[in-house]
Amino acid sequence: MRSLPTPIRALLLTLTVLAALFPLYGPLVAGDAYDFYLQKVTGILILCILAVSLDLLVGVTGMVSVAHAAFLGIAGYTLALYAPEYEAANILTALPVSLAAAALASLVIGLLIIRTGGIFFIMATIAFSQMIYYLFHDADFAGGSDGIYIMVRPALIVGDTEILTFDNPHTLFYVTLGSLVGIYLLLRAMLRAPFGRVLAGIKENENRVQALGYNPVVYKLAAFVIAGTLAGYAGFLTASQYGYMNPAQLSWTLSAHALIMVIMGGLGTLFGPILGAFALEGLHYVFASWTSHWELLLGLVAIGIVLLLPGGIAGLLLRLCARSAKAAAPDTGEPAGTPAPPRPVLARTPTTTATGGGALKMAANKEKS
Amino acid sequence: MDLSIFLIQTMNGVQYGLLLFLIASGLTLIFGIMHIINLAHGALYMIGAYLAWWLTSQVGNLFLAIVLALPVTVAIGIVIERFLIQTLYKRDHLDQVLLTFGLILVFDSLQSMTWGNDVHSVPMPEILSGSIALTDTLQYPVYRLFVSVVCALIALSMYLVIQRTRLGMIIRAGASNREMVQGLGLNIRNIYTLVFAAGTALTAFAGMIAAPISSVYPGMGSQILIICFVVVVIGGVGSIKGAFLGALLVGLTATWGQILVPEFSGVVVYALMAAVLLWKPRGLFA
């Protein structure tokens, strides 16, 4: 993964600082609605974690998963089931248990579907996502369709001292923001490492990666489990924030919304999906304040992105940077600092040919028989 | 369990499976021939059901409603293909997922804006509302038999059109090599439009004839879409034969599951899918 152009780095840094200072200026700007907005922003930051981890699959490795929210839901439900009824669950034990549940679920589902690709992978992820939805929807121990409550929010307790508690919205806000920054930097480092290069190679051409001596299945499965576990972390935070889990939080529609965030923000850029999450949730909030039929507007936005904004917000920003860098140094051609156009965004190769031709194969078989 | 109950459930399962085949065959045709994944396929099933309910309440007869509604759904299919899907042929699956998911949101909102969020039922046509006596005490509704027969006839005619006609030959050729078909002087764009409109009409028709059996409600599209994905995953993507057998397998599993393991009836078809994927990772007939 290439290093980012300076203006984009500056933008991301500014946005992070702006977010971190929100509790300082928020009450002045929002007044009485501050508590609501703090909760809203925390919720969006959690969705950012979901979107960034999905980008590892979709944008980097080229695996279009529509089951990502299932792992968020599984970890959230695990916390709800693990937490004692009338006291706070200790993050020290509850977090590993929740993450392990998400990791295990993604490993099992991953093992079943990782060998498939293209459209088959998409359909299978949607179907498994729905299976998990029904498992929790029909399960009495998990509250069925009503969902399940977490009466007391988790706290970090070492020995007998409570170090922090998610009961405090500011604590949860800063933990979420810090986690997002940490996960983003971790994934960036991972993509620079050989592991990430193999993943990017798989997206470009899986057969060549195999010819180079790597086993693509192992790498894809590893990416699926890492991304699923990170989605589980987002689920742990979601359950901690709302104190409530219901089957809608593991439905495939939430996964599809996360996909919109990734695509709207910019595929394979990692920072794009964060911008996409804020953009989509912002639009959602604005539309919902206008009309009860906000889904119509959101649907039109999704269609509009496909038709008008390939590469998403990040693609647009990277193109702008590339253009201004060129304008600044017209004679030197391509100086070392010039950011190359974002290849993974622009050079989208159609993957259809690999899986196509099924209908004729069927037809040929029929004629033979 | 009583043998006669088992028999009735089996007939219900076959009927459900045949209905699923109508929907899943459209999905698999559109993928097999056009390489497009259409998430909005279920939304068109819902539109079909709502049109049948609304028109039946206007004209008083389901058959007349179907005759009036079918051209509308064909037109919807043509418009979607010409204005939206055609931009997607050179894009990857991700753009297709996003655009057709956007279409789901649009159709769902249009449905709730036009027809509201209530659950509706459609009266059965008078002549088919009776039952046939299977034994002295057990009866089977004529309408369900009628649905099974209609679906089976459509499946058969689809097979004949694809295998035995010139049009079917062109469609099969287009699936395997689109450039070559164009090189032979055929307009592949019209064929794609035709296939998409036919797929749309099939799923909408399924929604119309299923309306008197299952009620008409918001969100019915997404539910049927995912069951059809299970059918296609089990049968193998792009395979009509796979879709047919997958649909029957899913239909029978779902109805038997309801009486054998009622507490897990929502999950049995997915368990079946997981088992098939373990055994044949690309589906039974890929």
A10-52 pLDDT per residue, tens: 999 999 999 999 999 988 888 888 999 999 999 999 999 999 9
Listed in sequence order, the residues at least 6 apart from A41 whose beta carbon sits closer than 8 Å to its beta carbon are A19, A22, A173
How far, CA to CA in Å, does B135 sit from each of A59, A97, B15, B215, B230?
60, 56, 20, 28, 35
Provide the number of CB pairs (under 8 Å) joining chain A to chain B: 195
Tell me how many degrees the CA angle B158-B162-B164 measures, rounded to the nearest 5: 110
B65 lies in which domain range?
A: 16-218
> Quick check: B262 contacting A, CB < 8 Å?
no
pLDDT for residue B1: 57
* Element of type H or E holding A156: strand A155-158
**What's residue A70's pLDDT?**
95
Domains of chain A from N-terminus onward: 6-354 (1.10.3470)
Distance CA B1, CA B18 (A): 25
pTM here is 0.85
Residue B5, in any domain of the structure = no
Q: Which two tokens stand for residue A82?
A: 């693990």
Residues 6+ apart with CB under 8 A from A65: A54, A57, A58, A121, A122, A125, A224, A227, A255
Tell me the percentage of chain A whose pLDDT exceeds 90.
51
Disruptive mutation site among B83, B91, B97 for chain A (greatest number of A CBs within 10 Å): B97
Q: How does pLDDT run across B227-281, given as a tens digit for each residue?
A: 998 998 898 877 888 899 999 999 999 999 888 888 777 788 888 988 888 888 8
From A311, which residue of chain B is nearest by alpha-carbon distance? B95
Nearest to A54 by CA among A198, A239, A228, A195: A228
* Partner residue facing B176 (CB), from A66, A351, A360: A360
- pLDDT grade for A1, boundaries at 50, 70 and 90: low
pLDDT tens digit string along A91-121? 889 999 999 999 999 999 999 888 877 788 8
Q: Using a CB-CB distance cutoff of 8 angstroms, which residues of chain B are in contact with residue A256?
A: 97, 101
Residue B57 lies in a domain: yes
- For the four alpha carbons of B272, B278, B282 and B286, in that order, the dihedral sign comes to negative
For residue B180, what is the enclosing H or E element?
A: helix B178-183
Q: Does residue B229 form part of some domain?
A: no
CB contact under 8 A, B283 and A113: no
Q: Could you tell me which residue, A320 or A178, shows the higher pLDDT?
A: A178
Q: Is B234 on the interface with A (CB under 8 A)?
A: no
Helix (H) or strand (E) holding A318, with range, is helix A312-328
pLDDT number for residue A240 = 93
B252 in a structural domain: no
Please check whether residue B194 lies inside any domain of the structure.
yes
Structural domain includes residue B34: yes
Q: Give domain status of residue B47, yes or no.
A: yes
- A143 bridge partner residues: none
| Mean pLDDT score across all residues of chain A | 85
**Cβ atoms < 10 Å from Cβ of A245:** 28
Residue B197 lies in a domain: yes
Q: In angstroms, rounded to a whole number, what is the distance separating the alpha carbons of residues B25 and B38?
A: 12
List of residues 6+ apart from B3 with CB closer than 8 A: none
pLDDT in tens, B103-129: 999 999 999 999 988 999 888 888 888
Work out how many domains chain B is built from and give that number: 1
- Does residue B79 register a pLDDT over 90? yes
Which pLDDT score, from 0 to 100, does residue B188 have? 86
Mean pLDDT for the stretch of residues B24-47: 90
Contacts of range A90-96, beta carbons closer than 8 Å, 24 or more positions apart: A90/A154, A90/A155, A90/A156, A90/A157, A91/A154, A91/A155, A91/A156, A91/A157, A91/A166, A92/A156, A92/A157, A92/A158, A94/A154, A94/A236, A95/A154, A95/A233, A95/A236
Q: Do B106 and A122 touch (CB under 8 A)?
A: no
